[in-house]
Amino acid sequence: MSIKTIFIGISVIVGLTTQSCNRKGCTDSNASNYDSKAKKDDGSCEFNNVGAYDRTKMLSNLADNYIIPGYTNYKASTVNLVSKVETFNNGPSISTLNELRTTWKSACIEWQTVSFIDFGPSKDISLTAQTNIFPVDTDLIDNNISSGTYNLQIPANFDAKGFQALDYLLFGTGNNEQEIVDYFTNTTGAKEYLFAVADELQTNATSILSAWENSYSETFKANNSDNSEGSSVSELINGLSSHYETNIRKGKLGLPSGVFNGFSQQPMPQHVEGLYSKQSIVFSIAAMEGLNNYIKGNSFEGNNEGQGLDDYINFVTAKDANGTNLEIAIENQITEIKSALNGHINPLSEEVTNNNAEVMATYQEMQKLVPLIKVDMTSALGVLVTYQDNDGD
């Protein structure tokens, strides 16, 4: 055998080995064209069952039985909130203050149940940023009140309004109930600002509900031909995934616990939601319960189960990274998160300082849900993640 023949043979073997190592194809086992020998995904995965699912039925159920009733309930809670503000402003007392506080808490809980519908009309007006930014800028609130001139609609005032501004005004402007009543009685402009903040919550809630009832609902249902970017399925999955990852996981627990506080990872108790009312855990549990009902397609009133993302996931027989049924994995993880949250009996601002190891453990339970939704769900349904997360996790 000649040296030339040997050289050619070796070259062929090396070439085949290199080709095998670099083989591209579909690496997603949920796809119909899955290639077990592929080492690099080339974006060619096909999900034949995805297109066969009745998306119209699912989108109609979510719009008619969860989203619109949810926004209707949320709007009603803001109307009641404005009414209680007017009652308090007309006769500041401990009694009217406590009635207002109770109504504020109820409205904030109702917000948690619709906050993750973060697309369409709500995205158009940055509803989350206008409604529930924390930590709130108390200095800016105080300056707005003292100056008497402010425009709550401009982004510069987003962290001086919404539910967390009311949290400060109703719970943080005095050391006890009487001092807070006295604050509103004696501080020029405080009552007007209280009303302006509550009234804007009502205005935005009314606007979102009107948009869904008048036209967007039908657009949402009709945009169902596929799951590509801009489709209704893509919008609702990206909306809930982004909101969960950024505003629930990171905002409600990650930041206060110190996970995102640079190298020090020192707790930041001032970053909790409901800092002054000490209702952080209550709001977090409400958010998780709402998210679970939304994914399952439960009706907002009565929790009657209809077609939801869980049914879509089951239709394509989606699995998580461990081979577990994805719908079950998601539901079980949400249950674990709620159980962990319920284990914190003290205000979160105290827990992150005195019991941070347990808070960190709860955060890790929240983190486990991210890949189930952001990676496994989107992959199974052929949805492209269109938002960016810069957390490095």
DSSP characters over 182-211: HHHHHSTTHHHHHHHHHHHHHHHHHHHHHH
For residue 10, is pLDDT > 80? no
Round to whole Å and give the CA distance between 338 and 147. Answer: 43
What does the pLDDT read at residue 31? Answer: 57
Nearest in space to 195 (alpha carbons), one of 146, 145, 125, 128: 145
pLDDT band, residue 48 (cuts 50/70/90): low
Phi, psi (rounded to 5 degrees) for 22: -105, 10
In this structure, what token pair is assigned to residue 192?
A: 């007007």
Rg of the chain in Å (alpha carbons): 25
Q: What's the chain's average pLDDT?
A: 91
pLDDT digits (tens, 9 = 90+) for 228-287: 999 999 999 999 999 999 999 999 999 999 999 988 899 999 999 999 999 999 999 999
Q: What is the CATH number of domain 51-381?
A: 1.20.1420.20
**pLDDT at position 288:** 98
User: Using one digit for the tens of pLDDT, what is the confidence trace for 191-231?
Assistant: 999 999 999 999 999 999 999 999 999 999 999 999 999 99
Tens of pLDDT, residues 356-388: 999 999 999 999 999 999 999 999 999 999 998
Give the pLDDT band of residue 289 (cuts 50, 70, 90): very high
Q: What percentage of the chain carries pLDDT values higher than 70?
A: 90
With CA atoms as reference, report the closest residue to 167 among 147, 189, 137, 122: 137
Residue 180 has pLDDT above 70, yes or no: yes
CA dist 204 and 197 (Å) reads 11
Asked if pLDDT for residue 13 goes beyond 50, the answer is no
> Are 152 and 197 within 8 A, CB to CB?
yes
pLDDT-based confidence at residue 148 (cuts at 50, 70, 90): very high
pLDDT at position 280: 97
pLDDT at 385: 96
d(CA 65, CA 69) in angstroms, rounded, equals: 6
